Structure 1
Amino acid sequence: MQLVLASGSPRRKELLALLGVDFEVCTSEFPEHPMAGWLPLEQAKYFAREKARCVARVRLQDFILGSDTVIELDGHLLGKPLHLEDARIMLSRLAGRCHHVHTAVAICCQARGIDRVEASTTHVTMKVDVEDVYSRYLASQESLGKAGAYAIQGLGGDLVERIDGDYTTVVGLPLKLVARLLQSVGYPIALDIEELYHRKPYANWHRFAV
C-alpha cells in the first residue's frame, strides 16, 4: 500500500518528507468554500477529511493523508487575503495579539475502512506593529496565498513574538500528529519523532523552540 499526500502544498510535501516515509502526491480536487456558521476548528477537520476522501475514492488500496490549516481570531476564521490591501487589514487585526492556528489531519483507506481525522492547535502571539516591520513584510508580497496573511517559515517569522504549541502545526502539517495517525493504522514510521523535534530541521523552527 502506498502513502499518498492529498495536497499540492510544497510546505506539506517538505514536512512529510522529514518523516523519512515514501509517499506520492495526488492533489485533491475537493472545492474549499468557507462554511457559514461553522467553528474554524470544525471546518479544518471537515476540509481535511474531504480532501482525503476525494483521493481515496480513486486510490482505493492506498493510505491517503489530507490536511487543512485555518487561522482563528476572536472565534472567527481568517482566510487567505485576496490582495495586498486585504493582507494589510488582516495583519493589522493580528498585530500585538494572540490567535489560534488549527491544522487538521485525516487518514483514509477505502480498502481497510479507515476514515479518521484529528487536529492540532498552536497559539501564536504576534509582535506589536512598530518600526514598519509589517509594511516591509507586505512589500515582500509573501502574504498572498497564506492563511492569515503570513508565513511563519518565511519572512513572516519576523512578525511572530512567540508560539505555544507545535511549530509544524503553524506551517501546515503537525508531524507528531501525522506520525501517530500513521502508526495507529499500521503504517510504519522508522524515524525517532522526538529526535526530529530536537533537531528542528525546517526553516525558522529553531526560532520558536518550546
Structure 2
Amino acid sequence: MALKLVLASSSPRREKLLKLMGLKFTIVPSKIDESVYTNLPPRDMVQELARAKASEVGELVEESCVIAADTVVVKGNKILGKPSSHEEAIDMLSGLQGEKHTVLTGLAVLSTENGKILVDYDKTDVYMREMDKQEIISYVNTGEPMDKAGSYAIQGLGGIFVERIKGSYFTVMGLPIHKLSLMLKEFSIDVI
C-alpha cells in the first residue's frame, strides 16, 4: 500500500509548494515547543526541529510519510525568527537592509510504516537592497512580515527588497523542494 503524505505544518507557503509539486497530502500541524531548540547552532536547530515535528505528527497518523520543515534567518551569529511586534519587525528589517543574511531550512521525512527518517537542511544567502525607514514602516504596516522568519516574504511584497540570492528560492520560502523530491524518492514516492 502506498504511504499517504502528511504535511506537519500550518504554513500556507509550504502547502502551496507541495501543491506546486503535484502532491496529494493532508495537513496535521505540529505543536512542538520550538524554544527548546534555540541553544543549538542554526544548522542543527532547523534539522532537529524538523525531526521533532515529523516525529510528533508521526505518532498521530498511520501508514503515512510525514514531511516537516523549519526555517530560520541568520544574520551574523544572531537567529531571527518571526517578529513578535511591529517594532521588532522594523528592527529586523533595519538590520537586514543593505546586507547579506542566510536562510536555513531543515527538512525531515518520516515513514510511520517502518520508522525510517531522513533529515537534511539547505542554505541560501540573501542580499537585501538598501531601504529607507519609511519603506520599512510601510511594509511592516501591510502585515505581511508578521508570520515570517526575518520579517519578510520573498514570494510577496517583501521580494522588492531582495537584490539577489545565492542558493534556492524555495529554501527561502520554507521548503527546499529539490531536496524534498530526492528524499521522497528514498520512500518510493516519485514527484515526476
TM-score, length basis structure 2? 0.94
SS of structure 1 residue aligned to 2:72: strand
Structure 1 residues 101 and 34: alpha-carbon distance in aligned structure 2, compared to 1, 3 A threshold: farther
Alignment partner, residue 82 of structure 1 = 84
Tell me how far 1:37 sits from its aligned partner: 3.1
Between the aligned partners of 1:162 and 1:103, the Cα distance in structure 2 is: 18
CA distance in 1, matches of 2:167, 2:142: 27
Q: Specify the code of the residue in structure 1 equivalent to 2:152.
A: Y
> Post-superposition shift, 1:19?
1.1
| 2:9 is equivalent to residue 7 of structure 1 | yes
Matches within 5 A, 1:161-176: 161-176=163-178
Determine helix, strand or coil for the equivalent of 2:63: coil
1:105 pairs, out of 104, 107, 116, with 107
State the distance in 2 between where 1:69 and 1:20 align: 22
In structure 1, the partner of 2:43 is: 41
Aligned ranges 1:119-138 → 2 under 5 Å: 119-130=121-132, 132-138=134-140
Is 1:51 the counterpart of 2:50? The answer is no
User: How far 1:146 moved relative to its partner?
Assistant: 1.1
Distance, in Å, in 1 between the alignment partners of 2:26 and 2:109 is 14
Aligned to 2:71: 69
Classify the secondary structure of the residue corresponding to 1:182: helix
CA deviation after TM superposition for structure 1 residue 60, in Å: 3.4
Contact 2:37 2:48 in 1 (8 A): no
Query: Which of these residues, 144, 153, 156, is aligned with residue 154 of structure 1?
Result: 156
State the alpha-carbon separation in 2 of the partners of residues 85 and 97 from structure 1: 20
The answer to whether the 8 Å contact 2:38/2:45 transfers is no
Offset, 1:85: 0.6
Contact 1:179/1:189 (8 A) holds in 2:
yes
Q: Which amino acid aligns with 2:181?
A: A
User: 124-133 or 69-78: which moved more?
Assistant: 124-133
Q: Mark the runs of 5 or more structure 2 residues left unpaired by the alignment.
A: none
> What RMSD in Å do the two structures reach over aligned CA positions?
1.4
Asked if the contact 1:41/1:70 (under 8 Å) is kept, the reply is no
Deviation at 1:79, TM superposition (A): 1.0
Shift of 1:34: 5.4
- What TM-score does the superposition give when structure 1 sets the normalisation length? 0.86
Which whole-Å CA distance do the structure 1 matches of 2:54 and 2:19 have between them? 18
Q: Which moved more, 1:33-42 or 1:71-80?
A: 33-42
Give the aligned residue type for 2:26. E
Q: CA deviation at 1:58?
A: 1.9
Task: Provide the aligned length of Structure 1 versus Structure 2.
Answer: 190
In structure 2, how many angstroms separate the alpha carbons of the residues matched to 1:131 and 1:44?
31
How big is each residue's C-alpha offset from its partner over 1:67-121, in whole Å with a ceiling of 9 and x where there is no partner?
0000011022111111111111111111111000001110111322311110111
Does residue 117 of structure 2 align to residue 115 of structure 1?
A: yes
Shift of residue 133, structure 1, vs aligned partner: 2.6
CA apart distance, 1:36: 4.2
Q: Partner of 1:180 in structure 2?
A: 182
Structure 1: 5+ residue stretches without partners = 191-210
Q: What is residue 16 of structure 1 aligned with on the other side?
A: 18
